[in-house]
Structure 1
Amino acid sequence: MKTNVLKDNRRSFLKGSLALGGIALLNPQKALAAATEKEEGFKILAGPYLQTNFGNSISILWITNKNAASWVNYGTSAGALDQKAFGKSELGLKPAGRINCVTLTNLKPGATYYYQIASKEIKDFQPYKLTYGEELTGNTEQFVNTDIAKESVSFVMLNDIHDRPQSIPHLLNLDKGNQRDFVFFNGDIFDYQTDEQQIIDHMLQPCDMFARNLPFVYVRGNHETRGKFARDFSSYFHHVGHTAFTLGPVRFVILDTGEDKEDTHPVYAGIVDFDTYRLEQAKWLEQEIGSKAFKNAPFRIVMMHIPPRYSGDAHGAVHCTQVFEPLLNKGKVDLVLSGHTHRYKVHAPDKNGNHYPIIIGGGPREGTRTITQVSASRKEVRVRMLDDSGKEVGSYLVTRK
């Protein structure tokens, strides 16, 4: 059957070879793909989905199947989307691609905003003439711009999904009914990076249950550094590396722990440098723990895929302990949230190692999957970890010192 389908495709494609050009005779597979793409209508493949580092701004992302000029109409009333925002200009040029990211800035704290994505297909791009095609608009969606000065903050953490997209809605449904400020993905949502369709099917579509209205924050795991598409991965998210932000009583610090294999491992063929990357982050972390925002926060929570301890003797894990643990102790962090080991565990502070609790989420298989619920006020941080049956398998309370 497969052979017949290929022959039929080749025949139909050869009949149109005069229209497609001589390349059809030399490479029928490529020409057939080109013809299919040409015939396919303009559409939105994924999104919108929200990303944020807070600070009275939010990024709205979506993917189209063809290059487009895109923007967002928005406002504080569903019936009056009277403001328009475009993607970030580079050297005076607005974006004109398929992966769209528009950041809304100067938002009012605590206000509800309504928005609608819009994309206009670019059919032909000549030096002195650009030809537009169809224009698409999405439904009117809404989100609440989180007030960073709020008295409390709450979120959930998922980790180590490993290309099991059904786990995302399953775990999030265990938290149904709770009001959260964001969802945090702590790495290894994929086994390795293959192509765009994998990102859409295994993350963006499952996240559609919340991501149009509630932002998620994402940091890479070691598996997101692998595969032929790893270098394109970050294009699909507003941010996936190390960062820090303040929300309510918490200063959040996110570290990108990189790969757990040696940089010299044969599978990387000499084209990675995670050791240097971790050392650069250590310098950044030292500056961060010396900042007023870090020192003045009632609580300091660090989120990193590979934990700074308790994850074996692989090179990356050992290096994380060497470069990050002394700084986390020096900064007197209150809590570290991690994944990577596929074994959920609550590790209490240890005066001879980590001076702070480390909460490690579970793994990808049924019975080992977890969702970690975190809520913080100015007096305490409460952590509660549920397995995929909804049973509590770990908890911890941090009180203000």
Structure 2
Amino acid sequence: MKENLSKENRRSFLLKSSIALGGLALLNPSKAISASLDNQEQSFKIITGPYLQTNFGNSISILWITNNDASSWVEYGESPDSLTNKAFGKSELGLKPAGRLNRVKINNLKPGVTYYYRIASKEINNFQPYKVTYGETIYGDTESFANLNTSKEDVSFVMLNDIHDRPESILHLLDLDKGNKRDFVFFNGDIFDYQTDEKQIIEHFLQPCTDYFAKNIPFLYVRGNHETRGKFAREFSSYFDQVGYTSFTLGPVRFVILDTGEDKEDTHPVYADIVDFDQYRIEQAAWLEEEIQKKEFKNAPFRIVMMHIPPRYSGDAHGATHCTELFEPLLNKGKVDLVLSGHTHQYKVHSPDKTSNNYPIIIGGGSRDGSRTLTKINATKKEIQVSMLDDSGKEVGRYVASRK
């Protein structure tokens, strides 16, 4: 994480971001949403990025967006002066990507090594059946990231949730971490109210994250129920490497991420019969049943589950009760050590309950001033420590889980 920002530096950050986004300050999202970033007549440029995502395991995904279609790649190496390796986006049916949304996954990295990289895009001016005409090639600055050793002794990260289209909250909450070194940042859903267009994704999330940390420290993201809404919801995942359910191991922790979907019934009129979240959750429950049987899960010193809608304590809406019905028995069976959630907008530490959830559930707050939270998690082979801060920096929740 970057060092703590003073008020003066924070103003500089916001000014810089407002200039990059067409002169509209992030402090005024309603105006920022109308910024024009898709002017195809402009000179070729990188609109936002690079930003990093990963599931660890000696690979990392580097993403960025250009204003016009391009052939793009990443140059990287173990020295800033020797970027001798080159990686392209994933080919589909033998075709390399040639668009605006660039995603390059680098595999087979060495554990514990710091890598340096820069992004490159060559503009496609004219795409004919038998001739492609290129324009300018542009490069990003040389950046770096640490490829973490998955067998490291500890893991440290922070969680944000329920930002709801208030990009200034990302900066404010991360600034509470005061320069502590983190392995990753986790966004636990409802970072938006609903999905409108690309500008919203850039201005309200990607650009603040890129400016603050995401060029050098990866983030993980799982959708909340609000990311499933809006005319752009089906394009949303194209801007990320991973926003659904997955699992991975880092240090002493086996992480499981569940995508809890919408909290309304699939038949609700607002969805016009074009969603199927019940079946999606059933699919995940079957996957989770297999996950908790894996040796990576069983043998891990700790097991942390991250899901936007908690498996309990979030009311009687259909999505919440369906999560309880499907996931709570499996989480108990798998003897998970901690669940991290959001959704309710009321921060709370729920201790284990022998009659329902046999594991603690930490629910982050949101989304307005006074109820926002930053949750800090540190895990060793002996214990997990959780500290939840409100947006004044006051600790409002704490939990310690010792190894069983």
- 1:146 counterpart letter in structure 2: L
Structure 1, unpaired ranges of 5+: 1-35
> In the alignment, is residue 102 of structure 1 matched against residue 84 of structure 2?
no
Distance 1:140 1:239 in 2: 24
Distance 1:108 1:253 in 2: 24
Does structure 1 conserve the Cα–Cα contact (< 8 Å) formed by 2:40 and 2:67? no
Deviation string 1:127-175 (CA, Å, 9 cap, x unpaired) is 1000001111000000100110100000000000000000001000100
The corresponding residue for 1:169 is 171
Corresponding residue to 2:186 among 168, 184, 187: 184
Displacement of 1:38 in angstroms is 5.0
Match of 1:228 among 228, 231, 235: 231
2:137 to 135, 138, 155: 135
Secondary structure of the residue aligned to 1:166 is helix
- CA RMSD in angstroms, aligned pairs only: 0.7
Output the amino acid matched with 2:150: I
Matched, 1:395 2:398: yes
Say if 2:253 is the partner of 1:250: yes
1:40 deviates by 1.5
Between the aligned partners of 1:257 and 1:177, the Cα distance in structure 2 is 32
Q: Distance in 1 between matches of 2:126 and 2:39?
A: 14
Matched, 1:117 2:119: yes
Cα distance, 1:37 vs structure 2: 4.3
Distance 1:241 1:143 in 2: 24
Q: From the CA coordinates, give the structure whose radius of gyration is larger.
A: 1
**What is the CA-CA distance between 1:205 and the residue it aligns to?**
1.0
- C-alpha deviation, 1:41, in angstroms: 1.1
SS in structure 2 at match of 1:96: coil
Residue by residue over 1:19-47, the C-alpha shift from the partner in whole angstroms, topping out at 9 and shown as x without a partner, is xxxxxxxxxxxxxxxxx945311111110
Partner of 1:212: 215
State how 1:52-63 maps to structure 2 within 5 Å: 52-63=54-65
Distance 1:176 1:120 in 2: 38
Instruction: Compute the TM-score of the two structures, normalised by the length of structure 2.
Output: 0.90
Matches within 5 A, 1:239-388: 239-388=242-391
Letter in 1 for 2:226: H
Partner of 1:28: none
Task: Give CA-to-partner distance per residue, 1:311-350, whole Å, 9 cap, x none.
Answer: 0000000000000000000000000000000000000000
CA distance in 1, matches of 2:235, 2:179: 35
For 2:232, give the aligned amino acid. Answer: F
The letter of the residue matching 1:74 is Y
Verify the 8 A CA contact 2:111 2:150 in the aligned structure 1. yes
For these two proteins, the number of residue pairs brought into alignment is 366
Moved over 2 A (4+): 36-39
Secondary structure at 2:167 match in 1: coil
Q: For residue 155 of structure 1, what is the aligned residue in structure 2?
A: 157
Helix, strand or coil: the match of 1:171? helix
Q: Which residue of 1 aligns with 2:5?
A: none
Tell me which amino acid in the other structure corresponds to 1:179: K
Q: CA deviation at 1:176?
A: 2.1
The separation in 1 between residues aligned to 2:257 and 2:251, in whole angstroms, is: 16
Q: Which residue of 2 aligns with 1:199?
A: 201
| Structure 2 partner of 1:51 | 53
Equivalent in the alignment of 1:21: none
State, as a whole percentage, how many aligned pairs show the same letter. Answer: 76
Matches within 5 A, 1:75-90: 75-90=77-92
Which sections of structure 2, spanning at least 5 residues, go unmatched?
A: 1-37
